[in-house]
Amino acid sequence: MHIVSLAGGIGGARFLRGLRAAVPDAEITVIGNTGDDITLFGLRVCPDLDTVMYTLGGGINEEQGWGRADEHHLIKTELAAYGVEPQWFGLGDKDIATHIVRTQMLNAGYPLSAITEALCARWQPGVRLIPMTDDRAETHVVIQDEQGRRAIHFQEWWVRLRASVPAEEIILVGADDAKPAPGVVEAIGEADMVILPPSNPVVSIGTILQIPGIREALEEKTVVGVSPIIGGAPVRGMADACLSAIGVETSAQAVLELYGSRLVDGWLVAEEDKGVTLEGVRVVARPLLMSDLEATTEIARAALELAR
C-alpha cells in the first residue's frame, strides 16, 4: 500500500510516527512544508523537513518537538559574544551540521529534494521525505507595529514575536513561480490514499496546497484529514493565530470548510466536535489527543480505516 501524507512541523511529525507504526509494511511518502525555511548566518535551515527527519529518525528533541536531542549551543553562544543577530532563533551545534551539509550541497547546485534524500540516508526515517518544492517559497507575515506596516519572515513572527502581534496577512512569497519537487505529483498519482496530519492548516498544510499543481493532484485522490483543532483550540502551536489571520474561525468545522469537500473525503474530529458536518465529507469522531505513540497509532489506524 502506498500512502502520501503532507506534513508540517511538530504535530505532523508526531502523527507520522503513529502512521508508520500503524502500517509498518506500507510505503509512505511525506511531502514536507518548506515555507518555514530561513537562511541564517549563511546557512539554509529547513525546520519542517528537519522535524520530520529527526522525529522519524530518532534524533529529535522530544519535549521541544524541534532540533536535536542532547544538544549543545556553543556556536550560538560564540555568535552572541560577537553580537551577531539574530539571537532569537536557537540553532544547536549538532543541528548546524545538518544546515552546513545542506548549504554546501545547495551551493554545489543540488536541488533541495536531492539534498533531503541524502540527509535521510543517514537518518533512515522509514518514509520518503520530499520537499513540496525545490524552488524558493517562503512564508512571510505582514504586521503593523511601531516601525509601520511591514512584512517579516514567518520565523521572526513565530519565534521572536510568539505570534503576539496580529498577522494582517500571511503570504507565501514565490508560490506562483514554484513547481512541485520531482516525485511529488507522481507520488500523489500512485497513492492508494492521502492523509492530512493535524499540522497547522494555514502555514503547513495550507502552504503545501499553494504550490501550483499539488491541490489539483490531491483532488483526484481519496483524502482523509485529521482535525488540528480540538474543541475550538489548537492542541499545540499557534494555529489559532494563523487561522484568525486569514479570517477563519478556530474550529474543526471551519478548518474542514477551509480545506473544502473537493479536497477532503473524510475528516477525523475529536469527540467534542462530533457535530461537524459538510456535504460530501464523511466525518468520524474519536479521541484525537496524540498523548503517546500508542494513542497516535490508534488515530492513524482510524484515519486509514476512514480512507478505506
Residue 199: CB minimum distance to ligand FO1, A: 8
Q: What stretches of the chain adopt beta strand conformation (E)?
A: 2-7, 27-32, 38-40, 43-45, 128-131, 138-145, 148-153, 169-173, 193-196, 223-226, 229-230, 233-234, 266-269, 282-285
> Does residue 47 belong to the site contacting ligand FO1 (CB under 6 A)?
yes
Please state, as a whole number, how many other Cβ atoms lie within 10 Å of the Cβ of residue 117: 15
Q: Which is nearer to ligand FO1, 50 or 265 (CB)?
A: 50
Nearer to ligand FO1, 20 or 68 (CB): 68
Q: Which has the closest alpha carbon to 235: 164, 289, 285?
A: 289
Applying CB under 6 A, the span of 18-26, 87-95, 186-194, 272-280 interacting with ligand FO1 comes to: 87-95
Which residue, 180 or 228, is less far from ligand FO1 as judged by CB? 228
Instruction: Decide if residue 103 touches ligand FO1 (CB under 6 A).
Output: no
Query: Which one, 13 or 194, has the nearer CB to ligand FO1?
Result: 13
Q: d(Cα 107, Cα 295) in Å, to the nearest integer?
A: 42
When the beta carbons of 58 and 90 are compared against ligand FO1, the nearer one is 90
Amino acid code (one letter) for 127:
V
Nearest by Cα to 57 from 85, 20, 93: 20
Alpha carbon distance 157, 234 (integer Å): 18
Q: Do 125 and 56 contact (CB within 8 A), yes or no?
A: yes
What is the identity of the amino acid at 291?
A: S
- Which one, 89 or 259, has the nearer CB to ligand FO1? 89
From the list 46-54, 130-138, 206-214, 286-294, the region that binds ligand FO1 by CB under 6 A is 46-54
Per-residue binding string, ligand FO1, 153-192, x by CB under 6 A, is --x--xx---------------------------------
Interface with ligand FO1 by CB under 6 A: which range of 84-92, 143-151, 187-195, 222-230?
A: 84-92
One residue of 22, 50, 119, 243 binding ligand FO1 per CB under 6 A: 50
Q: Are 143 and 163 in contact (CB under 8 A)?
A: no
Strand partners, 266: 224, 282
| Least spacing, CB of residue 285 vs ligand FO1, in Å | 27
CB closer to ligand FO1 out of 87 and 144: 87
Alpha-carbon distances, residue 4 vs 17, 214, 217, 254, 284 (angstroms): 14, 12, 12, 24, 20
Smallest separation, CB 126 to ligand FO1 (Å): 20
Tell me how many helices (H) and strands (E) the chain has: 12, 14
* Residue 89 touches ligand FO1, criterion: CB under 6 A: yes
Stretch that binds ligand FO1, among 22-30, 85-93, 217-225, 279-287 (CB under 6 A): 85-93
**DSSP output for 215-283:** HHHHTTS-EEEE-SEETTEESSTTHHHHHHHTT--SSHHHHHHHH-TTT-SEEEE-GGGTT---TT-EE
* 37 counts as binding ligand FO1 under rule CB under 6 A: no
Q: Which residue, judged by CB position, is nearest to ligand FO1 in the bound state? A: 9
Binding interface with ligand FO1 (CB under 6 A): 8-9, 36, 45, 47-48, 50-51, 66-67, 89-91, 95, 155, 158-159
